[in-house]
Amino acid sequence: MPNILDYANPTRFLNFARIVLPWLGGLTLLLLVVGLYGAFTAPPDYQQGETVRIMYIHVPAAWLAIFSYVVMTSAALGVLVWKHPLADAAQKTAAGLGAAFTFVCLITGSLWGKPMWNTYWVWDARLTSVLILLFLYLGLIALRQSIE
């Protein structure tokens, strides 16, 4: 049985990833189908009606946007402390994913907010902090693109 620290070697990690990636892709596709089935077959809410279905996209996107930030933070720690190349690759990848999920969260939130609040945007703390999170992601991506 290999030690977990053996996968810190990029060659061993890439060999492991080559084996596990098709299985994880299949599991992701299965869970996506289950989630979409739940979104389209859920009954309408008594207050929000059919607009509650957007929560099947909006809430997971918000959670994944925040989780990507946590992954970026821990990967940055791995780069700063141990100067590990896989941590740098993880941070670079998590930034793009986090920006995409944050953008989806903002768009679906504004689409849901129009029928609920009668406006697409209100400057409250939650919405503004997610917008700032998007700007942080985009700034980090721009910074990484500008440095060779």
pLDDT computed for residue 70 by the predictor? 96
Q: Which of 66, 73, 65, 105 is nearest to 90 (CA)?
A: 73
Here the contacts of 8-14 (C-beta below 8 Å, separation 24 or greater) are 8/84, 8/86, 10/85, 10/86, 13/86
Q: What secondary structure letter does DSSP report for 3?
A: -
pLDDT computed for residue 73 by the predictor? 94
Kindly list the averaged pLDDT for each block of 10 residues, start to end, along the chain of length 148. Answer: 78 91 96 88 87 88 96 94 90 96 95 89 92 96 91
Token duo for residue 139: 């700034």
Furthest-apart CA pair in the chain: how many Å? 58
Q: What are phi and psi of 3, to 5 degrees?
A: -75, 150
DSSP string covering 104-124: HHHHHHHHHHHHHHSSS----
pLDDT computed for residue 62 by the predictor? 96
pLDDT computed for residue 55 by the predictor? 86
Rg, the chain, Cα only: 19
Asked whether the beta carbons of 113 and 120 are under 8 A apart, the reply is yes
Q: Which of 112, 5, 12, 8 is nearest to 59 (CA)?
A: 112
Q: What are phi and psi of 42, to 5 degrees?
A: -70, 140
pLDDT computed for residue 1 by the predictor? 67
Enter the pTM of the model: 0.86
84: alpha, beta or left, given left = phi > 0 and alpha = psi -120 to 50? beta
